[in-house]
Amino acid sequence: MHFDTNKISGRSILQQGQENLYFGGTAYLGLDVHTGFRGILMEGFSRYGHYFGASRLGNLRLDIYDQFERFFAELMYSEDSLVVSSGTLAAQLFVQAYSKDMPRFYVKGTHPCLYQPEGNIFLEADQHGAAVINAHEGPVTIFCNAVDPLFCQPIDFEWLHDTDPTKEITLVVDASHAFGVADQLLYELKTKIAQLYHIKLVLLGSLGKAYSLPAGIILADRNIIDTLKGNPLFGGSSPAAPGFLHAFIHAMDIIRQQQSLLSTNLKQITKESIIQNHFQTLKDYPVFAGKKEAMAAYLQQNNIVISSFHYPTATSPLLNRIVINATHTASDLDYLMEKLEEMEKVKSD
Q: Quick check: 213 pLDDT over 50?
A: yes
Dist. CA 98–CA 103, nearest whole Å: 11
- Same-domain pairing of 305 and 272: yes
Shared domain check, 208 and 170: yes
Q: What span, in angstroms and rounded, lies between the C-alpha atoms of 334 and 275?
A: 12
45 lies in a domain? no
How many Å apart are CA 24 and CA 8, to the nearest integer?
11
Taking residues 95-109, report their average pLDDT.
93
Of 240, 272, 305, which marks where a domain is finished?
A: 240
Q: Does 46 fall in a domain?
A: no
What digits encode the pLDDT tens for the residues 228-245? 999 999 999 999 999 999
As a whole number, mean pLDDT of residues 31-55 equals 96
Choose the final residue of a domain: 240, 262, 283: 240
In a domain, 47, yes or no: no
Task: Kindly tell me the burial class for residue 345, based on how many C-beta atoms sit within 10 Å of its own C-beta (0-12, 13-18, 19 or more).
Answer: exposed
Q: Calculate mean pLDDT across residues 53-73.
A: 95
Q: For the purposes of burial, counting CB atoms within 10 Å of the CB of 81, is it exposed (0-12), middle (13-18) or buried (19 or more)?
A: buried
Rg (CA), the chain: 21
Same domain, 258 and 225: no
Do the strands 18-23 and 12-15 form a parallel or antiparallel pair, or are they unpaired? antiparallel
Neighbours of 344 (CB within 10 A): 17
What residues have CB less than 8 Å from 97, skipping those under 6 apart? Answer: 227, 228, 230, 231, 233, 234
**Taking the CA of residue 257 as centre, how many other CA atoms within 13 Å lie in the half-sphere pointing to its CB?**
10
Q: Are residues 164 and 308 in the same domain?
A: no
Q: Are 220 and 93 in contact (CB under 8 A)?
A: no
Range of the domain at 312: 12-33+253-348
Q: What is the DSSP string of 150-203?
A: TT-PPPP-GGGGGS-TTS-EEEEEE-TTTTTTSHHHHHHHHHHHHT-TTEEEEE
CATH of the domain at 214: 3.40.640.10
Do residue 19 and residue 96 come from a single domain? no
User: Is 44 inside any structural domain?
Assistant: no
Distance of CA 302 to the CA centre of its chain: 29
Same domain, 104 and 151: yes
DSSP-derived pairing of the beta strands 304-310 and 318-323: antiparallel
Q: Residue range 165-170: average pLDDT?
A: 97
Q: Are residues 227 and 125 in the same domain?
A: yes
122 φψ region: left (φ > 0), alpha (ψ -120 to 50), beta (else): beta
The total number of structural domains in the chain stands at 2
DSSP state of 90: H
Residue 1 has pLDDT above 70, yes or no: no
**pLDDT at 349 (0 to 100):** 47
In this structure, of 1-10, 77-86, 337-346, the range with the lowest mean pLDDT score is 1-10
Q: What is the mean pLDDT of residues 78-102?
A: 96
pTM metric for this prediction: 0.95
Dist CA 9 CA 12 (whole Å)? 5
pLDDT-derived band at 198 (thresholds 50, 70, 90) equals very high
Query: What is the helix (H) or strand (E) element at residue 318, kind and residue range?
Result: strand 318-323
Instruction: Evaluate whether residue 4 is within a structural domain.
Output: no
What is the spatial distance between Cα 246 and Cα 218, in angstroms, rounded to a whole number? Answer: 18
Residues 280 and 334 in one domain: yes
For residue 333, what pLDDT is reported? 97
CA-closest candidate to residue 234, choices 98, 97, 141, 116: 97
Residue 322 sits in a domain whose CATH number is 3.90.1150.10
Give strand ranges (E) for 96-139: 104-107, 120-123
Are 206 and 344 in the same domain? no
Q: Is residue 6 part of a domain?
A: no
Do residue 81 and residue 225 come from a single domain?
Answer: yes
Residue 183 lies in a domain: yes
The model's pLDDT over 253-266, given as tens digits with 9 standing for 90+, comes to 999 999 999 999 99
* 5-26 pLDDT tens trace: 776 778 999 887 888 999 999 9
User: Which of left, alpha, beta for 17 (phi over 0: left; psi -120 to 50: alpha)?
Assistant: left
Q: Are residues 140 and 288 in the same domain?
A: no
Which of residues 210, 240, 270 is at a domain's end? Answer: 240
How large is the average pLDDT for residues 59-88? 97
Residue 183, pLDDT > 70, answer yes
Q: What does the pLDDT read at residue 3?
A: 66
Q: How confident is the model at residue 347 (pLDDT cuts 50, 70, 90)?
A: low
Overall average pLDDT of the 139-150 stretch: 97
Q: Judge if the upstream peptide bond of residue 165 is cis by omega within 30 degrees of 0.
A: no
Q: How many CA atoms lie within 13 A of 294 on its CB side?
A: 6
Same domain, 213 and 275: no
Residue 7 in domain: no
Mean pLDDT of 279-297: 92
Mean pLDDT of the chain: 94
